[in-house]
Amino acid sequence: MSSCEINGYEELSQKFKDKLGLEKSPVAVKLVLNEDDIPGGIPKIEEKVRHCEMIQKASQGDIFYATAEEQACKGGAGAIGLMEPPEKVNSGEMYYSLGRFSSLGSAKRTVDAIPKIEPIMKAIAYSPLEKTPFDPDVVVIICNPQQAMQLAQAMVYTLGGRFEADFAGIQSICGDAVAGPYTTKRPNITLGCSGSRKFADIKSDEVIVGMNGENIGCIVNALEAL
């Protein structure tokens, strides 16, 4: 099989599940620049929850979109381009006040390094990959470390090299798993954060992998070859 000949998101999702033994669906994420581009037939989520919770919901079968108004975590909404991040997040003050850093300076340096999408998006659409009615910008997989290892092996299968994970234990599913792959076009593995483990029920034995949506066919092909 050539490097990127798989088509069909239902097939791709099933192959991810079969090859990795995933319990949850890969999640398709689309960043929407204009209201007119919101995929037709997708409802707006009715409750106000965090982006990480939305990823979890989609991994379990839900399809919906959300604007900044439906995002309960404004720091997360800022990372994925729906709004300017709150000043207390941008300055590092919030994380410093929570005791996460020894100084405001260390908090600020960390926050500055978190990937962020320019705040121009009107909405974010979420769907399990097998049901997605849109082409995803990013695909997020909640998995265990062994499954993440297999994904990393697949990502270096064709061109070689090393997989570089980039995280700091804060803003993981928003900054690390969505904004990072979207802005850099490179996949990332993140260990989650206190918020995603508390509110989105990311388990102690789970990690999160974010991938550019354009490359998932190649990754599935590599998984099959391996």
90-112 pLDDT, tens per residue?
999 999 999 999 999 999 999 99
Task: Evaluate if residue 7 carries a pLDDT over 80.
Answer: no
Please give the model's pTM, rounded to 2 decimal places. 0.94
Distance CA 52, CA 177 (A): 10
Residue 113 lies in a domain: yes
**Secondary structure of residue 123 in the 3-state scheme:** strand
Q: Looking at residues 141-162, what average pLDDT do you find? A: 96
- Residue 3 forms part of a structural domain: no
The residue whose two tokens read 């009715």 is 46
**Shortest CA distance to 78 belongs to which of 38, 110, 121?**
121
Question: Domain tally for the chain?
Answer: 1
In a domain? residue 88: yes
pLDDT tens, 12-55?
A: 999 999 999 999 999 999 999 998 999 989 999 999 999 999 99
The share of the chain scoring above pLDDT 70, in percent, equals: 97
Q: Establish if 177 belongs to a structural domain.
A: yes
Report yes or no on 158 lying in a domain: yes
The pLDDT value recorded for residue 1 is 33
Residue 120 belongs to domain spanning: 9-225
Per-residue confidence (pLDDT) for residue 91, from 0 to 100 = 94
The average confidence (pLDDT) of the chain is 94
- Quote the CA–CA distance of 217 and 221 in Å, as a whole number: 6
Two tokens, residue 35: 């209201």
Domain assignment present for residue 1? The answer is no
Candidates 118, 110, 147; CA nearest to 24 is 147
Answer yes or no: is 75 within a domain: yes
- Whether residue 33 is contained in a domain is answered as yes
Three state DSSP letters for 59-75:
HCCCCEEECHHHECCHH
> Does residue 5 have a pLDDT over 80?
no
| Mean pLDDT value across residues 124-140 | 97
Backbone dihedral angles phi then psi of residue 10, each to the nearest 5 degrees: -65, -45
